[in-house]
Structure 1
Amino acid sequence: MVNSPSRQQILRLYGSTLRAARSFSSYNFRNYFVRRTRENFRNMQTEQDSGKLSYAYGEAVKELAVLRRSAMVNQLYGGWRLVVENQSEVRERGEN
């Protein structure tokens, strides 16, 4: 019998993965990994087979480690901010 992860473990991993994805300084990488994280965990949420769920959880744990390392490197060599990022900050503050 395969020991599948609990709902709390999956949610904790989801939050950690989203935090790691949002820590990228590059706009394109950040948005890609946030989208990919949401999609992966949405698929995990609908999985009924405990073996497949355990496998997906294990892969997500491995991906989190890679994502954290990649985000750290991206923060070191981030580059310039894009025009899209500057416009989204203005919208968030309520300015036009």
Structure 2
Amino acid sequence: MASSARKVVTLHLYKQLLRESQKFNNYNYRLYALRKIKDAFRSAKHETDVVKLDSAQKFAEESLRSIQRQVIISQFYKAPPLVVEKSPQQQQQ
């Protein structure tokens, strides 16, 4: 039962991290954060050591708080979207 609860909490934390990372205004920061989150969770996917899992979960929670702070700061310094961010309809205009 504990492992099932841990999986639910971990999945919720993973989704929160992804959602929060999508809020970055800067394209490069956004992709970097998404890539790091996905890589970290993939590398710990088959981990069974409870101590390592607890440590990874605490690190992910700290990372979430850090990303939330960085997103707020990034909203103060907005830049125009890059060409790669624009949709095909916007590029034709």
Residue 58 of structure 2 corresponds to 58
| Structure 2 unmatched ranges of 5 or more | none
Q: Distance in 1 between matches of 2:38 and 2:71?
A: 17
Counterpart CA distance in 2 for 1:27 and 1:62 is: 22
Correspondences of 1:76-91 after superposition (within 5 Å):
76-86=76-86, 89-90=87-88
Once the two structures are superposed, the pairs formed by residues 23-42 of structure 1 within 5 Å of their partners are 23-42=23-42
Distance 1:58 1:82 in 2: 34
Query: Runs of at least 4 residues of structure 1 off by over 2 A?
Result: none
2:12 alignment counterpart: 12
Q: Under a length normalisation based on structure 1, what TM-score does the superposition of the two structures give?
A: 0.83
**Separation of aligned partners in 2, 1:34 and 1:76:** 21
Q: Identity over the aligned pairs, expressed in percent?
A: 31
- What RMSD in Å do the two structures reach over aligned CA positions? 2.0
Instruction: State the number of aligned residues.
Output: 89
